[in-house]
Amino acid sequence: MNIRLGAREASVGRLSKQRVWLVYAVVSVITGGSLFDIVTDTEHWPFSQYAMYSWVNRDYSLTLTRLFGVTESDPPREIPLTTFPYLQPFNSYRLRRALNWMLQSANREQLLGDALRDVLRRYEERRLAGQHDGPALQGVKLYRLYWKLDPWARNIDRPDGKNLIFAVTPPVEEKR
């Protein structure tokens, strides 16, 4: 915004020295924190290195983990649990990252069991409260899916590999 100083030059409000240093301190913290993360390639929220897509995937394939719910129907079906109403407050990507972290832990069996049972519990609570229209589930399974990339994504619904990593069903008492 261009400001013309002229007749009103005498009526300019000036900042105190302390105020000026406060401003510089704020700007320094924001800039310094961001620069630190950029240089070290780390993330300390709210500062970030803004990694975005700064890595190259040289393998022409995609591997990711995905949750499937096992329905109570006869025969049971497996439905992907990827939509927000099923997983709230998680979204598919956040939950997948959380589960991937658990997969790399020493006590992954304990962690995954607790996590998947929690996903199932919240799914069922929200279903019974009418907050989504998904089917009743008797269990949850975690798979690792693999695709060879197709330029037109024609195989998006048919992964080339599907390996079961972990599965949970609720305790018998909860089913009554």
Output 17 or 58, the one with its CB closest to another protein: 17
Q: Which is nearer to another protein, 88 or 155 (CB)?
A: 88
Binding to another protein by residue 109, rule CB under 8 A?
A: no
Which CB sits closer to another protein, 48 or 71? 48
If binding is defined by CB under 8 A, does position 142 make contact with another protein? Answer: no
d(CA 110, CA 133): 30
Q: Does 36 bind another protein (CB under 8 A)?
A: no
Q: Which one, 118 or 150, has the nearer CB to another protein?
A: 118
* Residues numbered 79-98 forming contacts with another protein, rule: CB under 8 A: 88-90, 93-95, 97-98
For the bound state, the minimum distance from the C-beta of residue 125 to another protein, rounded and expressed in Å, comes to 8
Which residue spans within 36-160 are E strands per DSSP?
61-71, 78-80, 137-148
Distance set, CA 17 to CA 5, 10, 14, 21, 22 (Å): 22, 19, 9, 6, 9
Quickly list H helices, 41-132.
84-87, 92-103, 108-128
